[in-house]
Amino acid sequence: MSTVKDVKEQPTAGRTTAGLRIEDLHVRFSGARVIDGLSLTVAPGEIVGLAGRNGAGKTTTLRAVSGLAARSGGTVELDGVRLPSRPEAVARAGVAHVPEGRGIFADLTVEENIRLGLVRKVPAEQTLRGALEEAFPAVVRLRGQKAGRLSGGEQQMVALFRGLIGAPKVLLVDEMSLGLSPRALLTAIEALAALGRAHDIGVLVVDQNSRMLHEHCDRVYLLGGGRVRLWDDAGDIASAYFE
């Protein structure tokens, strides 16, 4: 029996106004359909995974949500309000994006990189700095160093710290496992999941590590043909990727 199900089989999918809602999203590049009617939701405090083949459109999906890629059709809403198409406006609305490669500014210090996450002008008492310092103590020790001198795992911690410090409503994370050791990845995903759930931050994680997604996410979508389906079993690689 297949463990990949059409999203419509999940009764609650797409029926909430709280959190992130993507409905019938379309994205085209040079006339080619990359995303073709994608729909999914991420509720506050929910950790959702998005998997798929290389080139399936996972990164494009996140970029379309954050305004870095043009949406050809469909709607993207946050708490029932349509998100604008401009990246800076999306960020101010409460969406933070940790891109593939982490987006660290090598010539800036760790602390300077972190301050870039405060795009929403959140009052100091409302940021998550205290919780983040407890979750990522290494970042505190490194805050005066140039970010370009850090290891891949340390840079990922800084990127997550920066993405979460302004208490976003939704955090998008692209290929978190890229270049990380198993130990560093486990530290990162456990901290991310705990912080998201504790502070009602919806998290959408794109990654090739399907087992990690299934172990730590509330549910996992599989992207193929520009659309998503629910994927229940990390061990069912063959039917999920090749059927």
Domain map (residue ranges) of the chain: 4-102+170-242
User: What is the distance between the terminal CA atoms of the chain, rounded to a whole angstrom?
Assistant: 13
Top CATH class of 4-102+170-242 equals alpha beta
Statement: residue 36 has pLDDT above 90: yes
User: pLDDT tens digit string along 200-237?
Assistant: 999 999 998 989 999 999 999 999 999 999 988 656 65
User: pLDDT tens digit string along 91-122?
Assistant: 999 999 999 888 899 999 999 999 998 877 76
Task: Give the residue, 233 or 55, on which the prediction is more confident.
Answer: 55
Residue 170, classified by CB atoms within 10 Å of its CB into exposed (0-12), middle (13-18) or buried (19+), is buried
Percent of the chain with pLDDT over 70: 87
Q: Give pLDDT, residue 170.
A: 97
pLDDT bin (cut points 50, 70, 90) of residue 5 is very low
Q: Nearest-CA neighbor of 77 among 19, 144, 35?
A: 19
User: pLDDT tens digit string along 166-201?
Assistant: 999 999 999 988 888 898 899 899 999 999 999 999
Q: Give pLDDT, residue 184.
A: 87
Q: Give pLDDT, residue 234.
A: 58
pTM: 0.86
Q: Give pLDDT, residue 162.
A: 94
Q: Give pLDDT, residue 12.
A: 40
Q: What is the chain's mean pLDDT, rounded?
A: 87
Close Cβ partners of 49 (under 8 Å, ≥ 6 residues apart)? 204, 205, 206, 207, 210, 213, 214, 216, 217, 219, 220, 221
**Strand (E) or helix (H) holding 170:** strand 170-174
Q: Give pLDDT, residue 10.
A: 39
Close Cβ partners of 25 (under 8 Å, ≥ 6 residues apart)? 35, 37, 38, 39, 61, 64, 71, 73, 74, 75, 76
Residue 20 to residue 203: CA distance in whole angstroms? 9
47, 216 in Cβ contact below 8 A?
Answer: yes
77, 68 in Cβ contact below 8 A?
Answer: no
Residue 22 to residue 177: CA distance in whole angstroms? 24
